[in-house]
Amino acid sequence: MRWVAAVGIAVLATSCAVEVGTVNTDVADGIVSAIDAVDDVAADRGSTNAPAVGDNDELVEIGPIPAGSHWHSAYVVRICDDVLPPFASEADPAGIHSHGDGLIHIHPLFVESGFENATLGLFADAIGFTLADGELTVPGGGTWKNGDDCGGEPGQVFVDRWDNHLAQGQPERIFSGLEEIRFERDGELYQIAFGPPASLPVVPPTMELLPEVSQLGVPQEQAWLYVANDADPVTARVWIVDDVTALPCGDSAVADRVLIGVSACYSPKADRFEASEFISAATAVRSNGIPGVEIIVTPAFRSFLEDAFADEALSTAEPVVTIAFEVEGSVVIAPAFLKMPLSETRVMITGGMTESSARDFARVLNG
């Protein structure tokens, strides 16, 4: 069993701001687990914002975690044949901004700007752009609309997006819904442009800065989580871990079940609860490319976690609460919470999962 760390951690290679003076202008996230999600409206629906996932459907990317993720994207603004210098944010009301370094810094401060709510429109607001379908205004630089002249050709407003930091493959060229373009993972590239609709894309020259500020290209760990595809949901339990010891297990301890690695024994600190008391719904998703399960938790889970933190705070200045998820008599994952989730209703669990095992885990939690 891998004892999974932690809530809302984002490991950075350097500080948020980056020096851009040395950028070559010729150049054409360990496990984060038990992290809180967004949009408390989901609790009223009794489901997540992610659509239901069938066995053959691709898992949905849920975007940056509010008060947890710290991602970066490189961007460039192009007007016809001119590439504009980078902009700095006039304000940062949502936690999505730039320091004038040609990078978009994405660390949502609120539920309202996290996950699926983290959009290019919020970045445009922080910079002082107008980015709308058919219209682009930049600070101090004028306004361009679809059909305006661009070197003798009618131009259009569009956005190019690469889903990787190396500009591999052709970008997705987007002409509508520009404000609603979502940040889906760390290290994306964007060209915000007014130009001929068939013009070649300009790759953001600051893409070479991304490895300095984000952990990119890190191989995903081997999958170790195992939940049988016919596991009985009635057996799902949730409880606080008191101690982790080596095999053999004592009378009250529960052994884990893993595909790789060394097994261990998990001792409950208090009562074990049926998962249905704490979980309203669960969906297999991806968080920054990593398969996981997003769960909608009940008020009872929130109270349970608050009480656990209060108890831990009596004995340590830096409380950590580890929650075991047990299925058919074995611990399958034990995420460690470093703080209370920002959202009152949504929690994201990743670590050691494949798409298939994430679906199996979600199915069991759904009852």
Model pLDDT for residues 125-174, shown as the tens digit of each residue: 999 999 999 999 998 879 999 999 999 999 999 999 999 999 999 999 99
User: CB under 8 Å to 149, separation ≥6 — which residues?
Assistant: 155
CA atoms within 13 A on the CB side of 141: 19
Please give the pLDDT value at position 15: 37
pLDDT digits (tens, 9 = 90+) for 286-332: 999 999 999 999 999 999 999 999 999 999 999 999 999 999 999 99
Q: How far apart are CA 75 and CA 72, in angstroms?
A: 10
pLDDT on residue 233: 96
**Can you give the pLDDT at residue 68?**
87
Q: Looking at the predicted structure, is the pLDDT value of residue 38 above 80? A: no
The pLDDT score that the predictor gives to residue 90 is: 81
The pLDDT assigned to 255 comes to 96
Using CA atoms, how far residue 323 sits from 43, 147, 223, in Å, is 21, 57, 20
Per mean pLDDT, which range of 10-24, 189-203, 282-296 is the poorest? Answer: 10-24
Q: What percent of the chain has pLDDT over 90?
A: 76
- Contact status, residue 284 vs residue 293, Cβ threshold 8 Å: yes
User: What's the confidence (pLDDT) of residue 24?
Assistant: 38
Assess whether pLDDT exceeds 50 at residue 43: no
Residue 81 has pLDDT above 90, yes or no: yes
Helix (H) or strand (E) holding 238: strand 237-245
Q: How confident is the model at residue 34 (pLDDT cuts 50, 70, 90)?
A: very low
Predicted local distance difference test score (pLDDT) of residue 335: 96
pLDDT band at 55 (very low <50, low <70, confident <90, very high): low
Looking at residue 242, the DSSP 8-state letter turns out to be E
b/e map 30-55, b = 16+ CB within 10 Å: ebbbbbbbbbeebbeeebbbbeebee
% the chain with pLDDT above 70: 85
Structural domain boundaries in the chain: 65-213
- pLDDT range class, residue 221, cuts 50, 70, 90: confident
Q: Identify the weakest region by mean pLDDT among 26-40, 119-133, 223-237.
A: 26-40
| Residue 238: both structure tokens together | 């949730």
In 122-222, where do the E strands start and end?
A: 130-132, 135-138, 142-145, 149-150, 153-154, 156-162, 172-174, 189-195
pTM given for the model: 0.83
pLDDT for the residue numbered 289: 92
The confidence score (pLDDT) of residue 26 equals 34
Distance CA 124, CA 223 (A): 38
213-241 per-residue burial string, b: 16 or more CB within 10 A, e: under 16: bbebeeeeeebbbbbeeebeeeebbbbbb
How far from 210 is each of 118, 122, 251, CA to CA, in Å? 19, 20, 50
pLDDT at 94 over 50: yes
Mean pLDDT of the 56-65 span: 88
Is residue 36 pLDDT above 60, yes or no? no
Whether 10 has a pLDDT exceeding 60, the answer reads: no
Reply yes or no on whether the pLDDT at 265 is more than 80: yes
Asked if residue 248 has a cis previous peptide bond (ω within 30° of 0), the answer is yes
Q: Exposure of 98 by Cβ count < 10 A (0-12 exposed, 13-18 middle, 19+ buried)?
A: buried
pLDDT at 13: 27
